[in-house]
Amino acid sequence: MRALASLIIITLLLVTGGVSAADANMKPNIVILATGGTIAGRGESGTRASYNAGEVGVETLVGAVPQLAELARVRGEQVANVGSQDMSDAIWLQLAARVNAVLAEEDVAGVVITHGTDTIEETAYFLNLVVHSKKPVVLTAAMRPATALSADGPLNIYNAVAVAADPEAAGRGVLVVINDDIHGARGMTKTSTTDVQTFISPERGLIGTSLYGDNRYFRYPYKRHTYESTFDVAGRTALPRVDVLYMHAGVSPELVNASVASGAQGIVIAGVGNGNMNREVRAAVKQAVDAGVRVVRSTRVTRGFVGRNVETDDDALGTVAAGELKPPQARVLLQLALLEERDAASLQTLFEQY
Ligand code: GLU
């Protein structure tokens, strides 16, 4: 891809912030892959809410935090520069290939990825399933653009590099470090459009915290990830199309019919309550399943699990219960699962394992 050809490779000054060249040689090598987002956003002034995401390049982002030299030898690459609402399967596949390639370099200790907050939970979970390494992979982001008063990006990058350079972070799957918290990729979610404290991990809690680069860890991920994952996207240029359909009172079954007619291979129902949908949508789902479309039931509710056969008869409908995966992450898992032919029972097993 053209973006690949335009990768910017920057070797940062090693002798900054009072770190001697001899000290710097002892530091772990960390690669920062930049994809855009508010962390790379520029506004007209420090006090205006409006801004454009994905305008500041990786060299500026990293150059704004010379203290990184205390933690690591850092080099940066620009993989994309988009607001994460424009994140796509194509960028994911390109990013996964870069992360796997960079981590295969023996002298690279870990990777940091800068990203927008809007879809970071999807990218993080995608990488959690397709990166095959125990080395730390850490995504970070910011709620305030780089030009804002009290921009949160620089400290988030600092903490992210501190986690990526930390041997204790290895084997914990893909992590998201933001606002002093270390989230596991699976189950973390954005809860506020504007608050700096926007991310929560509602079911399983945090993996740990990072306070000015001082890391504490509370747990390992509970499900299969990274080096244990059998999903492989090497050489792929596209992923199966999976749609998310949002349920509400009076929702029309035509959403399901339109999705199937326009070529979706899978559907995630963002159901009400415990992954529920009305009678008409259930009938349309049954037809979709009979036509070979795989349907997973998740929920539009922030917390809790969607269990099999609670109010919706999965056995009769041929549907899969998403457990604690919310619709955006359930969609990622279904996309990867559909790279192979699988029946509803084996899909259900995957949703329990991953
Ligand atoms: N739409 C922007 C993005 O996701 C804003 C979110 C952010 O980064 O805070 O890139």
How confident is the model over 240-255, as pLDDT tens digits? 999 999 999 999 999 9
Task: Find out whether the beta carbon of 116 lies less than 6 Å from any atom of ligand 1.
Answer: yes
Please say if the pLDDT value at position 318 is more than 80. Answer: yes
Over pLDDT 70: what percentage of the chain? 92
Q: Which residue has the higher pLDDT, 7 or 154?
A: 154
Closest of 196, 195, 216 to residue 206, by C-alpha: 216
Active site residue 38: yes
What pLDDT does residue 1 have?
44
Distance of CA 133 from the midpoint of ligand 1 (Å): 27
242-353 shares the fold of 26-228? yes
CB-count burial class (<10 Å; 0-12, 13-18, 19+) for 237: exposed
CB-count burial class (<10 Å; 0-12, 13-18, 19+) for 82: buried
Please check whether the domain covering 26-228 is classified as CATH 3.40.50.1170. Answer: yes
Q: How far is it, in rounded angstroms, from Cα 88 to Cα 241?
A: 11
Q: Which residue has the higher pLDDT, 348 or 51?
A: 348
Record the pTM.
0.92
Please state the atom number of ligand 1 nearest to the C-alpha of residue 144.
9
Distance of CA 286 from the midpoint of ligand 1 (Å): 37
pLDDT bin (cut points 50, 70, 90) of residue 11 is very low
Distance of CA 38 from the midpoint of ligand 1 (Å): 5
Task: Find out whether the beta carbon of 213 lies less than 6 Å from any atom of ligand 1.
Answer: no
Reading the block at residue 31, the tokens are 């690669």
| Mean pLDDT, the chain, integer | 92
Please say if the pLDDT value at position 15 is more than 70. Answer: no
Place of tokens 């740990």: 208
Q: Which of 11, 16, 35, 38 is catalytic?
A: 38
Segment among 33-42, 59-68, 198-207, 340-349 with least mean pLDDT: 33-42
Please say if the pLDDT value at position 10 is more than 50. Answer: no
Task: Find out whether the beta carbon of 266 lies less than 6 Å from any atom of ligand 1.
Answer: no
- Highest mean pLDDT out of 2-16, 18-32, 84-98: 84-98
pLDDT bin (cut points 50, 70, 90) of residue 14 is very low
Task: Tally the residues of the chain.
Answer: 354
Distance of CA 312 from the midpoint of ligand 1 (Å): 35
Q: Is 98 helix (H, G, I), strand (E, B) or coil?
A: helix
pLDDT tens readout for residues 45-93: 777 777 677 778 888 888 889 999 999 999 999 999 999 999 999 999 9
Q: How far is it, in rounded angstroms, from Cα 77 to Cα 65?
A: 16
Please say if the pLDDT value at position 30 is more than 90. Answer: yes
- Mean predicted confidence (pLDDT) in 277-285: 98
Task: Find out whether the beta carbon of 118 lies less than 6 Å from any atom of ligand 1.
Answer: yes
From 115, 117, 157, mutation site for ligand 1 pocket: most ligand atoms within 8 A of C-beta: 117
What pLDDT does residue 47 have?
74
Place of tokens 């879809």: 119
- Mean predicted confidence (pLDDT) in 172-176: 98
- Mean predicted confidence (pLDDT) in 114-119: 96
Task: Find out whether the beta carbon of 153 lies less than 6 Å from any atom of ligand 1.
Answer: no
Which of 2.60.40.1180, 3.10.450.50, 3.40.50.40, 3.40.1780.10 would CATH assign to domain 242-353? Answer: 3.40.50.40
Task: Find out whether the beta carbon of 181 lies less than 6 Å from any atom of ligand 1.
Answer: no
What pLDDT does residue 263 have?
98
| Nearest-CA residue for atom 9 of ligand 1 | 143
Distance of CA 147 from the midpoint of ligand 1 (Å): 14
Q: Exposed e or buried b for every residue in 118-144, given b needs 16+ CB within 10 A? A: bbbbbbbbbbbbbbbbebbbbbbbbbb
Task: Find out whether the beta carbon of 141 lies less than 6 Å from any atom of ligand 1.
Answer: yes
Q: Provide the residue ranges of all domains of the chain, joining segments of one domain with +.
A: 26-228, 242-353
pLDDT bin (cut points 50, 70, 90) of residue 20 is low
Distance of CA 198 from the midpoint of ligand 1 (Å): 12
pLDDT tens readout for residues 117-152: 999 999 999 999 999 999 999 999 999 988 889 999
Closest of 188, 151, 120 to residue 56, by C-alpha: 151
Please say if the pLDDT value at position 21 is more than 90. Answer: no
Reading the block at residue 103, the tokens are 């981590």
What pLDDT does residue 24 have?
59
Please say if the pLDDT value at position 160 is more than 90. Answer: yes
